[in-house]
Amino acid sequence: MVQEKLNQKVYYEHLENGLDVVIIPKKGVTNYYATFATHFGSLNYKFKAPGNTEITTVPDGVAHFLEHKLFEEEDGINALDKLSKIGADANAYTTFNHTAYLFTCNSRFEEAFNILLKFVQNPYLTDENVEKEKGIIGQEIKMYDDDPNWQVFFQLLIALYGDKHAVSKDIAGTVESISHITPKVLYDCYNTFYDPSNMVIIVSGDVEPEKILDIIKANVKSQKEKAQIERYYGEISPKVFKTRVEKKMDVSLSMAILGFKDVKAQTLRKAGYSEDNKDLVKRSVAIEILLSLIAGKSSRTFEELYNEGTLTSAIDCDFTFEEDYAYSSFYVETSNVDRVVERIKEEISYLKENGLSKEDFDRTKKMLYGNFVGMFNDPIYIAKNMTNDYFKGVNTLDYADAYQNITKEYVEEVLREHFDFNNMALSVVSPNE
């Protein structure tokens, strides 16, 4: 299947083994990007593998642990070193809902691509190398424990969704939880989640789609497509779990995130990567517009708080939706958290009562659409966004239609429904006294 929007062709292929392939050819560019990713993140600690009748529960942090180990190969040479030796910049990351292995390069793309395809499909796990990794990851976990940015973010998720939901589990796990990880646990998870039918390959750069597909078909496991994995995310609070959480840390200014749980996003989301998720894209665009109008850099809120000295930098506004949760957020660093929160609530109430200015709405929509279009000039940025969107179940190209066709009336409807103060939580990291 080929789609073309914004003068950009995107090739989609669903192979017989269930693997999805997305190719974004960019003639004349000098850099390449490729990612091989699986729908396996920290949320997936409890699942039923295809063909199994029993639910499997694994220690927190397994997806992240496996990401660390997959670069290690039986010949003793780390795949990162192999890629670096031929000039490729390689990396990997684990999120709440997926794990991705990737590289960028300016030359020798096919050689680097073959290395990527090989090491992701050939785990080498022993008692010795797994035990060694526990110490390395344990140090990483302790670093996150001391990171105020991570703490204020993670506190918000628990405040919104509760401690019985999978999102309350740290991506890297805990020092105690990773102590229970064994090669068998890792192989069981690998065989379940690193199946082609649960994965996607995304490539961008000056490439020929047919040639890329030939390389993939020759080097990726050929097998029958498996049934979907059953995933269990735990209990979710109907309302916010806590309205405010606060922690003292060694910071000079308070860090705060004000979040609004989005209940409706989950009713819109269809399972998997689906064309039916266009309503979710439309809702996402509406909330992005609203966040900018409420507290963006050109908003009344920011101007007022900046002029009075309550803020010295912009409010970071964001809307996040994943497979079992969604929320909008306002992140600030300030000496007066309560003043910022009150001003944001005042602006939300004002817009609900008076509606959106057509001039402000049109200007903001045009600005955000321009930012979106600009993304397509960078093959790396496009591919990264397409990877993230794929695991959210949406097609990145659908945002183009949503930006162009969204109406002020629809955005006002979302404003009244989404920004409900009863579904609001505040996370604060404040300075030690």
Neighbours of 268 (CB within 10 A): 18
* Sheet with 254-261, side-by-side order of all strands: 244-249, 424-431, 254-261, 326-334, 316-321
Using only the alpha carbons of the chain, give its radius of gyration: 22
Q: Show the 3-state SS of 73-128.
A: CCCCCCHHHHHHHCCCEEEEEECCCCEEEEEEECCCHHHHHHHHHHHHCCCCCCHH
Query: How far apart, in whole angstroms, are the C-alpha atoms of residue 393 and residue 283?
Result: 14
* 128 is an active site residue: no
Catalytic residue among 67, 133, 322, 347: 67
DSSP H helical ranges for 183-260: 183-193, 209-219
Judge contact between 292 and 319, C-beta under 8 A.
no
DSSP assignment, residue 250?
A: S
């390395």: which residue's tokens? 136
Q: What are the DSSP E strand ranges found in 178-336?
A: 199-205, 230-231, 244-249, 254-261, 316-321, 326-334
Helix H or strand E segment including 403: helix 398-405
Which 3 state secondary structure label does DSSP give 303? helix
C-alpha separations of 50 from 56, 228, 231, 250, 325 in Å? 11, 7, 11, 47, 24
> Which residues, other chains included, contact 259 with Cβ-Cβ below 8 Å and sequence gap of 6+?
156, 159, 160, 327, 328, 329, 330, 424, 425, 426, 427
CA–CA–CA angle 416, 417, 419 (5° rounding): 75
Query: How far apart, in whole angstroms, are the C-alpha atoms of residue 280 and residue 394?
Result: 8
**143-179 burial: b if 16+ Cβ within 10 Å, else e:** eeeeebebbbbbbbbbbbbbeebbbbbbbbbebebbe
User: Among all residues, which ones are annotated catalytic?
Assistant: 67
